[in-house]
Amino acid sequence: MELENISGNTYYFSGSTCIGMYREGKKVTLVDTGIDDNKIRKIFNYLNEESLFIENVIITHSHADHAGGNDFLQKRGFTRFFSSEMEAFILKHPDFFPYILFGSSYPEFLNTKFIVPSKTEHVYPVSSLKNFTILEFEGHSFQMVVLKTMDNIVFLADTMFSEKILEKHPIPFHIDTEKYLDAMVKASDIDADGYLISHGGYYKTISDLKKINVGAVEKIQELIEKNLPETIENIYSLVLKELNIQIKEPWEYFLNRVPFLAIVKNLEKNRRIFMESKENKIFLKIK
């Protein structure tokens, strides 16, 4: 973990989930807290040593790898978390996410730090913060917060992923494919001097990255379409196999299934495929 200065008062702590920082004198606003206590503890200690203190924490969205460190701060009496309305709801009710993945009350294996964020008691509206231009993007999550600092740097959260991350996780997580792709277009239209991607770091420009991210979705769409007709379960297994994804833990099966189903839904919405029930199975067929 290293603190990198992007421009002026805008910084980030590098790592598997980058954590943004905006400094005003001795006060800092952090953007996200990482997956568990580890990184936020190091940041907390570092800021203490530098006689800086955390005034606000913006949580871009309620995914566990962005909000898993909230508990560490709460245990030290910190309460000034900010997010959008939907993400705040999930942060206050973190069981909601594994419920979505499983479709009902969920087995214990989904109760992992990779899935469930810290239960966060106080989450205030991010729109009340004055020093940032706040945007809300749907698609990756319900209402992800994207923000621009006074230094004209945009924190894009999980709007896009680095090429390396996409190689490791070839089905990029999202819940609505159309909105997820649309958010990438919106991100490219923002006038900014640079962009911080949570899983990827700092980029001066994002047009190449956008193409790679759109390509990742198109590849899955093509894999589905060229292997139809098939049952929805079989086509999911086939997509995993074709993308060299090894499901090692059961939770990975349910996590990857969400963006797979989002892409299926988008193909159905665009009338490229349709769904049919036969022999108690759901078949996907080309329209």
What DSSP state is assigned to residue 126?
A: G
Smallest distance from the beta carbon of 55 to Zn ion, in angstroms? 24
Fill in the amino acid letter for 219.
K
CA-to-CA distance for 60 and 88, rounded, in angstroms?
10
| Contact footprint for Zn ion (CB under 5 A) | 63, 158
Query: What is the CB neighbour count within 10 angstroms for residue 205?
Result: 12
Name which of 21 and 172 has its Cβ closer to Zn ion: 172
Smallest distance, Å, CB 246 to Zn ion? 21
Is 63 or 257 the residue whose CB approaches Zn ion more closely? 63
Closer residue to Zn ion, CB minimum distance, 47 or 64 = 64
Residue nearest to Zn ion (CB): 63
- How far is residue 194's CA from residue 209's CA, in Å, rounded to a whole number? 13
Cα angle for residues 224, 227, 233 (degrees, 5° grid): 65
Nearest one of 260, 262, 264 to 283, comparing CA atoms: 264
In whole angstroms, give the CA distance from residue 22 to residue 18. 13
CB of 128 to Zn ion, least distance (A): 23
Q: Which is nearer to Zn ion, 106 or 180 (CB)?
A: 180
Residue 216 token pair: 């990742």
Helices (H), the chain: 37-49, 64-67, 70-75, 85-92, 96-102, 163-168, 177-189, 207-226, 232-242, 250-269
Nearer to Zn ion, 29 or 172 (CB): 172
CB of 185 to Zn ion, least distance (A): 19
State which residue, 23 or 61, has the beta carbon closest to Zn ion: 61
Helix (H) or strand (E) holding 31: strand 27-31
- Shortest CB 165 distance to Zn ion, Å: 11
Measured CA to CA, the distance from residue 88 to residue 94 in angstroms comes to 10
Q: Least distance (Å) from Zn ion to the CB of residue 277?
A: 32
Burial class (CB within 10 angstroms; exposed 0-12, middle 13-18, buried 19+) of 134: middle
Minimum CB distance to Zn ion smaller for 3 or for 175 = 175
Query: Cβ of residue 87: shortest distance to Zn ion, in angstroms?
Result: 10
